[in-house]
Amino acid sequence: MNILVCIKQVPDTREIRVDLETGTMIRKGVPSIINPDDLHALEYALTLKDEDPDTHVVVLSMGPLQAKEALIECLCMGADQAILLSDRAFGGADTWATANTLAAAVRRLQPFDLILCGQQAIDGDTAQVGPQLAERLAIPQITYAQSVRLENHSVQVERQMEDGYQLVKADLPILITATRKLNQPRYMNIRDIVKVHQADDPVQVWGLEDLDLDPGQVGLKGSPTRVKRSFSPAASSEVRFFSGTADEMAASLIDSFRTLNLIEK
Amino acid sequence: MDFSLTSTQTSIQQMVRAFAAREVKPTAAVTDETCAFPRDNVQKMQRYGLMGMNVPTEFGGAGADDISYAIAVEELSKVCATTGVILSAHNSLFCDPLLKFGTPAQQEKYLIPAANGKTLGAFALTEPNAGTDAASQVTRARKVDGGYRLNGSKIFITNAGEADVYVVFAMTDPSKGTRGISAFILEKGWEGFSFGRVEEKMGIHGSSTRELIFQDVFIPQENLLGEEGKGFKIAMVTLDGGRIGIAAQAVGIAQGALDETIAYIKQREQFNQPISKFQAVQFTIADMQTQTSAARLLTYQAADAKTRGLPYSNLAAMAKLFASETAGFVTNKAVQLHGGYGYTREYPVERMMRDAKITEIYEGTSEVQRMVISSHAIG
């Protein structure tokens, strides 16, 4: 079985600090990590490989050369092959252009039984690249998977909903996006760390010339999205104190929720 | 000279640090309180290739170098010194002598499963009346048809009872003193091989420390490790390597206590400010940090020499001496800076201070290290 996992290297925004003067995110000293949801996608692929050693797991990413680190980490967790799409021409891509680029790489690597992505990245939070990639490849997709059961040549997936889950069945090949409910990602292991670092070039790097794409389909040129303006919402720190008995304070709190339209009047 | 870690060492540090924080730290206090051997931790360490990590891949290990191994013991010991010493005893005291002195058949039968983590190993040298004076062994292996008959006992054996395989030292010819000692490989479950008293210790509560009892145990000839009469040399060479593991454990305990203390002094307020604002506290932290960093450098230097195949006996002795005394100093100061809270079991530094003491005693006391170091210095 051939599995492709798409990952993204992101700044660790779980420990974000904001410059109070400029209102922008402090990037200096913020470590780069593998997008957390992508680790759940990779974990599912590696679980299938644990069950059937003939499974081949390829990890794919687009980004600057620095993203090699993230792919090396995936190899150290047990993935078989890693490819980084890196080219100046790919810079400034929105989700549309990103999906174009990833799809071109997937077509070169074909065929895959299963493509796995994280549900969304913690930097952009769009949750679009997985679904767009499936569209480009003209294969079905199931998003927000909280459990996946693979049988013969089909999958049965529980899609996480706000108030429960939806059970969906589909045939392979398919693209699935993973939620953190899917599993608990493993750590790197010492055997793979030693083996991967002994290899001369554990990550293959592909540029625009390696893909069957026009320059107009990738990067900023291929991106229909235009960012009009970026701003930080003004931080307000209004604190109100209520006094009185517990009942009186509770009543005042409910009143202020109503005033703020947080609950029905 | 390059003082930066390689990419492999950096990855291993990152991996073991995350593993220790999430898998080992949450149960460290319970392990201490219940004195229960942390079998779960051992199984997880096997899964991630830590057991036998510095054994070459052709013998079933992960093929990591000795600095990587020191880093792993250090990172584990930062949060749980018990788990650190289980790994150290298995790798340094069991896998290492099998790798250096084992026959191909012994390596196939005992080293490969141990380096895979399928079996756990232990090392048994100390006897009630043969501690530092290891030559006073009274455990006796008599030559019989097809092998040896072993009688006697060993005490204070790390991983005893939990381990599946044991390197055991015994007198084969008492008339020859240290040249009459031989090493053997024993399996748990052999007839006449049993476990005695479980020691109640000051620290490393989860580490199993027990007596081994041998009553007419038959050891087949093929389980003699190295040549007959060369056991003392095997023990000394093995302990040289073991000292790197214990030095790393001590560095980990010190760093763990330092990390806890820095977090504490930043949030503990007295006289309307965090106590980290007081210079007396700051200077104490400076001393703790400096000694811990120096201990780490000595430890990595000894480990590096071992990987390069250079002499490391003296370096390992200096690393173990300095790191263990540093662990004692740093954990003592850590408790002091925590004040009354540091003396309670609400904070981990109390456990760390108890755990630190053993590093000055086992695998050669600080006095033994001073003997080794002075003999190298003076000649």
pTM of the model: 0.91
List, in sequence order, every residue forming a beta bridge with A176; answer none if it has no partner.
A116, A142
For B171, list phi and psi in degrees, rounded to 5.
-75, 125
Mutant choice from A194, A196, A197, A200 vs B, greatest count of B C-beta within 10 A: A194
CA distance B174 to B195: 25
A194, B18: Cβ pair inside 8 Å? no
Residue A150 located in a structural domain: yes
Confidence of residue B265 (pLDDT cuts 50, 70, 90): very high
Tokens found for residue A189: 């292991």
Which residues are B375's β-sheet partners? none
The answer to whether residue A132 sits within a structural domain is yes
pLDDT in tens, A60-72: 999 999 999 999 9
pLDDT tens-digit series, residues B267-284: 999 999 999 999 999 999
Residues of B belonging to the active site: 363
Residue A223 domain-assigned (yes or no): no
Q: Centre a 10 Å sphere on the Cβ of residue B332 and count the other Cβ atoms it contains.
A: 17
Q: Can you say whether the dihedral through the CA atoms of B201, B202, B206, B207 is positive or negative? A: negative
Residues A264 and A193 in one domain: no
Q: Tell me the C-alpha distance between A191 and A197, whole Å.
A: 10
Portion 15-74 of B in contact with A at CB < 8 A: 15, 18-19, 47-50, 53, 57, 62-64, 68, 72
Q: Is the pLDDT of residue B52 over 90?
A: yes
Tokens of A111: 């065929």
Give the chain A residue whose CA is nearest to the CA of B13.
Answer: A190
Q: Which token pair is A58?
A: 């390829």
Tell me the chain B residues in contact with residue A194 when contact means C-beta distances shorter than 8 Å. 8, 57, 62-64, 68
pLDDT value of residue A31: 87
CB B184 within 8 A of CB B170: yes
The secondary structure element, H or E, covering residue A117 is: strand A114-118
Nearest to A67 by CA among A143, A121, A109, A141: A121
Q: What is the ipTM of this complex?
A: 0.94
Contact B258, B288 (CB under 8 A): yes
Compute φ and ψ for A87, nearest 5 degrees.
-165, 145
CB-CB under 8 Å, B15 with A190:
yes
Min distance A72 CA to chain B CA atoms (Å): 10
Compute CA A95 distance to the chain's CA centroid, rounded to the nearest angstrom.
12
Q: Are residues A188 and A254 in the same domain?
A: no
In a domain, A197, yes or no: yes
Nearest to B334 by CA among B213, B271, B253: B253
Residue of B nearest to A199 (CA): B8
For residues A210 and A245, state if they share a domain.
no
Reported as a single tens digit per residue, the pLDDT across B83-127 is: 999 999 999 999 999 999 999 999 999 999 999 999 999 999 999
Cα–Cα distance, B320 to B360 (Å, whole number): 8
Do the chains contact at B15 and A193, CB–CB below 8 Å? yes
Q: Which residues partner with B225 through β-bridges?
A: B183
**A226 within a domain of the structure (yes/no):** no
CB burial of B225-239 (b: ≥16 within 10 Å; e: otherwise) equals bbebbbbbbbbebbb
Q: Which domain covers residue A260, as residue numbers?
A: 235-265
Asked if the model's pLDDT at residue A237 lies above 80, the reply is: no
Same domain, A143 and A250: no
Residue in chain A closest to B47 (alpha carbons) equals A189
* DSSP letter for each residue of A53-86: TT-EEEEEEES-GGGHHHHHHHHHHT-SEEEEE-
Q: Do A146 and A261 have their domain in common?
A: no
Do B63 and A72 lie within an 8 Å CB cutoff? no
Min distance B165 CA to chain A CA atoms (Å):
23
A69 and A159 fall within a common domain:
yes
CATH number at residue A210: 3.40.50.620
Tokens 């990855």 identify what position?
B11
Q: What percent of chain B stands above pLDDT 70?
A: 100
- CB contacts, 8 Å: B8 with chain A: 193-194, 197-198
Instruction: Flag whether A252 is in a domain.
Output: yes
Confidence category of residue A12, pLDDT binned at 50, 70, 90: confident
Asked whether residue A203 is domain-assigned, the answer is yes
Residues of A in contact with B112 (CB under 8 A): none
Give residues with Cβ within 8 angstroms of B161, minimum separation 6: B188, B195, B198, B208, B210
Q: Residue type at A40?
A: H
- Locate all alpha helices (DSSP H) within B112-230, ordered by sequence: 112-116
- Chain A contact present for B100, CB below 8 A: no
A148 and A68 in a common domain: yes
Of the candidates B243, B253, B326, B248, which has an alpha carbon nearest to the alpha carbon of residue B290?
A: B326
Looking up tokens 């290899």 gives A199
The Cα–Cα gap between B186 and B184 comes to 6
Write out the E strands in chain B.
121-124, 140-144, 147-158, 165-171, 181-187, 193-198, 209-220, 224-225, 269-270, 273-274
Cβ–Cβ contacts within 10 Å for residue B160, how many?
25
A21 is a domain residue = yes
B131 close to A (CB below 8 A)? no
With an 8 Å Cβ cutoff, are B48 and A72 in contact?
no
Distance from CA of B63 to the nearest CA of A (A): 7
CB B100 within 8 A of CB B22: no
- Across the interface, of A73, A189, A198, the residue whose CB is closest to B48 is A189
Which pair of structure tokens corresponds to residue A179?
């939620």
Q: Chain B partners of A76 at a C-beta cutoff of 8 Å? A: 11, 15
A contact set with B (CB within 8 A): 72-73, 76, 187-195, 197-198
- For A50, the closest chain B residue by CA position comes to B47
Strand-pairing partners, residue A177, are A117
For B21, the token pair is: 């924080």
DSSP 3-state helix, strand, coil percentages of chain B (rounded to 5)?
A: 60, 15, 25
CB–CB contact A191 B57 (8 Å): yes
- CA of B256, closest CA in chain A: separation in Å? 21
Is residue A257 within 8 Å of A263, Cβ to Cβ? yes
- Residue A214, both tokens: 């026009």
Residues A44 and A153 in one domain: yes
- What is the spatial distance between Cα B96 and Cα B90, in angstroms, rounded to a whole number? 9
Interval B199-228 mean pLDDT = 97
Q: What is the CA radius of gyration of chain B?
A: 21
Rounded Cα gap, residues B194 and B203, in angstroms: 25
Same domain flag for A203 and A249: no
pLDDT in tens, B288-335: 999 999 999 999 999 999 999 999 999 999 999 999 999 999 999 999
Do A167 and A265 belong to one domain?
no
User: Which of A188, A195, A198 faces B15 most closely, judged by CB atoms?
Assistant: A188
Total domains in chain A come to 2
- pLDDT at position B285 is 98
What is the reported pLDDT for A262? 87
| pLDDT value for B190 | 98
DSSP-H helix ranges across B203-278: 231-267
3-state secondary structure of A132: helix
Q: Which two tokens stand for residue B229?
A: 């009469």
Are A122 and A163 contained in the same domain? yes
Q: Residue A25: is its pLDDT beyond 70?
A: no
CB B375 within 8 A of CB B368: no
In this structure, the answer to whether residues A203 and A127 fall within a common structural domain is yes
DSSP single-letter state for residue A92: T
- pLDDT exceeds cutoff 70 at B41: yes
Residues of A in contact with B49 (CB under 8 A): 189-192
Contact B154, B204 (CB under 8 A): no
